């Protein structure tokens, strides 16, 4: 009987406890809906109200209860001082924002944007109007496109605008990164894979894109570390990334083994170091690997040396503009008198022979005159015979060599570029036999290079100062050879060492030749008479000037982004020049 009473009481207590627990867990029904609505109205009336704090900051109350989304935007429009255009999909939406602290007016835009994003809406700014649209629509209308992996600035994060970011992926597979990135970001953020260039296109709020960029930077780091290492006993193979195996092996074999053997000379004295042997290393050219024979302890130290020597080197693009100006000024004035009728010697400076007006036998040839400039002949009264020639000549010749070679090389590596032609020069002429019309002449020729030669070695220090060891040569033909003769070559070269900043343009060279010549031909005694002597002499003055200027602009390319940007700029420049050339041909 006692057991039955005990069991009954236990069952009664269990049922009672279950009922009480159920009542406690059940949702509380609002006591008075009308009273709650009045409370919400009270909060909504004060929401968005501005107040000025003691520190001078203007704040607003951010406390909306079961309010229409359009009413919230109406209040925020007055705070941010901009017109807000609301999409039809906003109508009927309600929000509740419970905030115990006021919000600074400076952060009003970001606050409004965050609230809308939680409801699936985004903002699109056009002049002084802010459009509230679905997030997907906001992504499609984004006008901000960023390229690269540079972090988003604080100002962009505060504005939290919708942006599109084109992100190159270096080592990882963009397709494999896509699902991982989608799991850690907002569902409203678009992630598109462009497999052709292994690139990701991200579209979303600047805060979401910033988080994705940081994650990508962690997951896709450049492999700037050491090359692959393989060991088998005391044989260690190190595959290099940037250096040449043959050069590195040659350096290693000249070094002492870094692990110094300790030799005890006397137990009563401290241990002394004995000089170790040379490092044993050979190069395998085909795989660009260095094979080192060493113990494990020795290899650990040698590997540190190899890692330092196998670091990536910066590259230098050197732009060169070469301008050579050559000018020849000639002034020739005088009168030659003829005092006999039979030979060229009749003219005191040989004008008769130059002009061709007299044949070898002294006869007149009035149809021939090869003199340049102004020529005037004086005839003997009553006879067609020329007794004098006046010749006045002034010439100016300018020769311009212009070239713009560009060459890319790595730091501390010599580079050379040659642009020009090989010109044949006769070195020997001989008769191969036969006589009369059967004679055969054999000529031997050598080819001499002409054009532009540029050779330089760059050295970059830690402050991006560039030291250039430079050799520049310009070789061209001074003039066309006469029949049977050889051309005359002009050669200008500069060898110098200079220090410049990155992207700094500097000029080397200048006036390298200034040759003045003056020749006077006159009739003795008569040519020395003041004023009157001008009628009996000929004066020729000639000035040759050569000016060579070389403009240099080095560009340090220490990452792929800079190299790509420079390549794009040069390609666009080339295309523009090609378009201009085609326009001129039309």
CB 150 within 8 A of CB 142: no
Specify the DSSP element, H or E, that contains 35: helix 33-46
* Residues ≥6 apart with Cβ < 8 Å to 239: 227, 228, 229, 287, 288, 289
Helices and strands in the chain: count of H runs, count of E runs: 12, 28
Residues whose CB is less than 8 angstroms from the CB of residue 377 and which lie 6 or more positions away in sequence, other chains included:
357, 386, 388, 389, 390
* 568's tokens: 């794009």
How many CB atoms are located within 10 Å of the residue 389 CB?
A: 24
* Predicted local distance difference test score (pLDDT) of residue 144: 75
Tokens encoding 232: 């088998």
Name the token pair of 427. 């070195």
Is residue 374 a contact partner of residue 392, using CB atoms and an 8 Å limit?
Answer: yes
The span from the CA of 391 to the CA of 571, in Å, is 55
CB burial of residue 282 (10 Å; 0-12, 13-18, 19+): middle
Per DSSP, the three-state class of 438 is: helix
Specify the DSSP element, H or E, that contains 245: helix 245-252
CA distance 301 to 108: 59
Tokens coding 319: 């732009």
CA pair distance 392, 373, nearest whole angstrom: 6
User: If you search the block for the tokens 């020329």, which residue do you land on?
Assistant: 386
Which tokens hold the place of 164?
């599109």
Do strands 280-284 and 406-410 pair parallel, antiparallel, or not at all (unpaired)?
A: unpaired
Give the model's pLDDT for residue 19.
38
pLDDT at 579: 84
Per-residue pLDDT, 145: 77
**Cα 188 from Cα 205, distance rounded (Å):** 9
Low-confidence ranges of the chain (pLDDT < 50): 1-36, 224, 261-266, 269-274, 343-346
What interhelical angle do 108-118 and 69-80 show, nearest 10?
160
d(CA 186, CA 120): 10
Q: What is the DSSP string of 109-161?
A: HHHHHHHHHHTTEEEEEETTEEEEEEHHHHHHT---EEESSPPPPHHHHHHT-
User: Tokens in use for 301?
Assistant: 């130290």
Pairwise CA distance, residues 441 & 446, whole Å = 17
Q: What is the pLDDT of residue 344?
A: 44
Q: What is the CA radius of gyration of the chain?
A: 46
* For helices 296-309 and 245-252, angle between their N-to-C axes, nearest 10 degrees: 130
The C-alpha atoms of residue 70 and residue 185 are separated, in whole angstroms, by 27
Reduced DSSP (H G I as helix, E B as strand, rest coil) percent helix, strand, coil of the chain, to 5: 30, 40, 30
Tokens 């003795």 — which residue? 524
Question: Hey, how many other C-beta atoms are within 10 angstroms of the C-beta on 75?
Answer: 18
Query: Cα separations (Å) of 325 from 103, 507, 514, 539, 544?
Result: 71, 15, 12, 27, 11
* Alpha-carbon span 465 to 504, nearest angstrom: 10
Q: Kindly report the number of other CB atoms within 10 A of residue 122's CB atom.
A: 24
Instruction: Using CB atoms within 10 Å of the CB of residue 463, give its burial: 0 to 12 exposed, 13 to 18 middle, 19+ buried.
Output: exposed
């Amino acid at each position: 009987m006692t057991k039955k009473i005990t069991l009954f009481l236990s069952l009664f207590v269990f049922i009672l406890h279950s009922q009480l627990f159920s009542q406690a867990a059940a949702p509380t029904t609002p006591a008075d809906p009308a009273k709650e609505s009045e409370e919400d109205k009270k909060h909504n009336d004060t929401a968005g109200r501005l107040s000025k704090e003691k520190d001078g900051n203007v704040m607003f109350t951010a406390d909306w209860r079961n309010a229409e989304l359009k009413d919230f935007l109406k209040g925020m429009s007055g705070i941010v001082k901009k017109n807000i255009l609301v999409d039809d999909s906003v109508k009927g939406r309600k929000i509740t924002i419970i905030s115990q602290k006021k919000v600074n007016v400076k952060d009003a835009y970001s606050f409004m944007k965050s609230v809308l994003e939680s409801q699936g809406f985004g903002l699109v700014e056009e002049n002084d109007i802010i459009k509230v649209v679905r997030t997907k629509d906001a992504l499609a209308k984004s006008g901000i496109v960023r390229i690269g992996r540079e972090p988003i600035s604080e100002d962009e994060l505060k504005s939290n605008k919708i942006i599109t970011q084109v992100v190159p992926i270096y080592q990882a597979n963009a397709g494999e990164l896509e699902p991982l990135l989608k799991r850690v970001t907002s569902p409203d953020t678009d992630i598109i894979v462009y497999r052709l260039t292994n690139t990701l296109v991200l579209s979303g709020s600047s805060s979401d894109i910033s988080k994705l960029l940081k994650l990508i930077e962690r997951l896709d780091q450049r492999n700037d570390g050491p090359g692959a290492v393989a060991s088998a006993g005391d044989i260690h193979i190190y595959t290099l990334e940037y250096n040449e195996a043959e050069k590195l092996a040659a350096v290693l074999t000249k070094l002492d083994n870094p692990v110094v053997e300790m030799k005890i000379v006397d137990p009563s004295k401290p241990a002394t170091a004995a000089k170790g042997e040379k490092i044993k290393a050979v190069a395998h050219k085909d795989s660009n690997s260095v094979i080192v024979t060493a113990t494990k302890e020795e290899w650990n130290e040698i590997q540190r040396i190899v890692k330092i020597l196998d670091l990536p080197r910066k590259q230098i693009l050197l732009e060169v503009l070469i301008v050579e100006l050559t000018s020849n000024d000639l002034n020739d004035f005088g009168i030659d008198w003829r005092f006999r009728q039979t030979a060229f010697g009749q003219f005191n400076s040989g004008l008769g022979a130059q002009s061709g007006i007299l044949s070898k036998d002294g006869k007149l040839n009035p149809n021939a005159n090869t003199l340049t400039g102004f020529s005037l002949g004086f005839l003997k009264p009553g006879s067609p015979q020329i007794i004098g020639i006046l010749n006045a000549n002034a010439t100016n010749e300018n020769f311009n060599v212009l070239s713009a070679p560009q060459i890319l090389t790595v730091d501390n590596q010599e580079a050379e570029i040659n642009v020009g032609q090989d010109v044949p020069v006769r070195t020997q002429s001989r008769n191969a036999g036969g006589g009369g019309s059967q004679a055969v002449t054999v000529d031997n020729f050598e080819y001499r290079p002409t054009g532009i030669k540029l050779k330089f070695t760059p050295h970059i220090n830690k402050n991006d100062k560039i030291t250039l060891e430079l050799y520049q040569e310009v070789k061209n033909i001074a003039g066309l050879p006469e029949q049977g003769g050889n051309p005359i070559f002009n050669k200008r070269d500069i060898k110098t060492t200079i220090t410049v900043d990155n992207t700094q343009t500097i000029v080397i060279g200048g006036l390298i030749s200034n040759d003045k010549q003056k020749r006077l031909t006159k009739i003795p005694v008569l040519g020395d008479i003041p004023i009157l002597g001008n009628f009996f002499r000929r004066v020729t003055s000639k000035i040759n000037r050569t000016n060579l200027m070389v403009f240099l602009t080095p560009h340090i390319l220490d990452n792929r982004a800079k190299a790509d940007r420079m390549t794009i700029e040069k390609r666009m420049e080339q295309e523009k020049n090609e378009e201009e050339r085609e326009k001129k041909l039309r």
